[in-house]
């Protein structure tokens, strides 16, 4: 029977797989992915607390309680993947992960020389010994994130590893390259931005409409012929088209709204010393304003969803909310 965490991930349009040392970027990652997977949950949480601080570890635990972050291990996927033929991509990621694990083990098994009291800088000597281990551990965790991402894709879940030092080694469009280019064009919410603000933004009805359009664009771009290095330029061009179009629309809409306000103000001017018919006119003019606002809000959403470049309007909205 499929594990509940796997069933949860099936509901997500896009899943990000994040190694523990990359959790400092979770706010930005959560703008891109509805769910974030952290492999080897218990071990990763300990590494986050030790290397990045207990405060971040507590935030990650809180996000897990909310269902934004999901802890998962390869064994959690065994029931789902039973009977599946593993593609070459998965086997390659498995081999790389095995090599990284062996490198960490070899380093740990090597003789450890602890400097004596006469050493000039014993602390520095120990740090020099530990630093390579941290690097090897991060490489192992990165390989595990890639492996988990590959397994999730075999299971039919759209998942990509989110790694800061990502490099395009294929020079061809695929889901991973496209998602990384899009993330590079999203803002980075600062430390002062509360997680509640980020989650509220994600849950906004209008934002969700734009997010759905972005996912369709990503799917088309991943199956298209445009080279990855050209994607960033296409994104900015689409963003500029959308902003230009909506700027003009707002100018025209503001003009129409001004007319409604002027009509209401003119009606108010008739109140003093007028009869019942004029009073009715005043009430009608004032009462029309909320209706007008509601209609204009609906019209604005229709325009945003059909404007040139609307496929990437989500990026515009994210930049407006969290800065570029």
| The pLDDT of residue 117 | 53
In degrees rounded to 5, what are phi and psi of residue 271? -60, -45
- Given a cut of 80, is residue 172 above it in pLDDT? no
Least confident of 190-194, 231-235, 275-279, 297-301: 275-279
Distances in Å between the Cα of 292 and the Cα atoms of 41, 190, 260 are 51, 37, 8
Burial class (CB in 10 A: 0-12, 13-18, 19+), 281: middle
C-alpha closest to that of 92 among 160, 37, 151:
151
Task: State the pLDDT confidence band at 74, using cuts at 50, 70 and 90.
Answer: confident
Better-predicted residue by pLDDT, 138 or 121: 138
> How confident is the model over 209-228, as pLDDT tens digits?
999 999 999 998 988 777 77
Least confident of 117-121, 148-152, 216-220, 298-302: 117-121
* pLDDT, average across residues 65-75: 92
| The pLDDT of residue 258 | 45
Mean of the per-residue pLDDT values of the chain:
82
| The pLDDT of residue 131 | 81
Better-predicted residue by pLDDT, 17 or 166: 17
| The pLDDT of residue 107 | 87
* pLDDT, average across residues 285-313: 68
- Given a cut of 70, is residue 323 above it in pLDDT? yes
| The pLDDT of residue 254 | 56
- Given a cut of 60, is residue 278 above it in pLDDT? no
* pLDDT, average across residues 218-239: 85
| The pLDDT of residue 273 | 52
User: CB within 8 A of 288, min separation 6: which ones?
Assistant: 260, 263, 264
Better-predicted residue by pLDDT, 195 or 122: 195
> How confident is the model over 91-118, as pLDDT tens digits?
999 999 999 999 999 988 877 665 555 5
| The pLDDT of residue 175 | 86
What percent of the chain clears pLDDT 90, i.e. is strictly above it?
51
- Given a cut of 50, is residue 61 above it in pLDDT? yes
User: Using H for helix, E for strand and C for coil, what is the string for 214-278?
Assistant: HHHHHHHHHCCCCCHHHHHHHHHHHHHHHHHHHHHHHHHHHHHHHHHHHHHHHHHHCCCCCCHHH
What percent of the chain clears pLDDT 70, i.e. is strictly above it?
75
In degrees rounded to 5, what are phi and psi of residue 70? -130, 125
Dump strand ranges (E) for the chain: 15-17, 35-39, 69-72, 159-161
Between CA 250 and CA 255, with CA 254 as vertex, the angle to 5 degrees is 120
């Amino acid at each position: 029977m499929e594990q509940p965490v796997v069933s949860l991930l099936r509901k997500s349009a896009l899943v990000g797989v994040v190694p523990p040392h990359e959790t400092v970027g979770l706010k930005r990652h959560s703008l891109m992915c509805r769910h974030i997977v952290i492999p080897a949950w218990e071990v990763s949480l300990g590494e986050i607390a030790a290397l990045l601080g207990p405060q971040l570890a507590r935030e990650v635990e809180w996000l897990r309680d909310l269902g934004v972050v999901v802890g998962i291990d390869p064994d959690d996927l065994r029931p789902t993947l039973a009977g599946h033929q593993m593609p070459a991509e998965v086997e390659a990621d498995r081999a790389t992960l095995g090599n990284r694990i062996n490198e960490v083990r070899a380093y740990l098994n090597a003789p450890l020389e602890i400097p004596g009291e006469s050493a000039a800088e014993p602390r520095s000597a120990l740090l020099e010994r530990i630093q390579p281990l941290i690097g090897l551990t991060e490489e192992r965790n990165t390989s595990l994130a890639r492996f988990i991402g590959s397994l999730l894709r075999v299971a039919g879940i759209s998942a990509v590893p989110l790694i800061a030092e990502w490099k395009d080694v294929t020079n061809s469009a695929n889901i991973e390259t496209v998602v990384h280019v899009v993330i590079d064009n999203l803002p980075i919410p600062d430390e002062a931005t509360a997680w509640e603000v980020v989650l509220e933004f994600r849950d906004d009805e209008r934002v969700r409409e734009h997010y759905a359009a972005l996912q369709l664009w990503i799917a088309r771009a991943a199956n298209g012929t445009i080279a990855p290095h050209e994607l960033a330029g296409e994104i900015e061009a689409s963003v500029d088209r959308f902003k230009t179009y909506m700027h003009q629309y707002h100018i025209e809409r503001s003009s129409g709204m001004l007319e409604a306000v002027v009509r209401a103000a003119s009606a108010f001017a008739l109140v003093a010393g007028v009869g019942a018919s004029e009073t009715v006119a005043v009430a009608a003019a004032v009462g029309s304003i909320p209706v007008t606002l509601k209609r204009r809000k609906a019209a604005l959403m229709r325009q945003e969803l059909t404007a040139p470049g609307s496929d990437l309007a989500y990026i515009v909205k994210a930049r407006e909310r969290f800065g570029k």
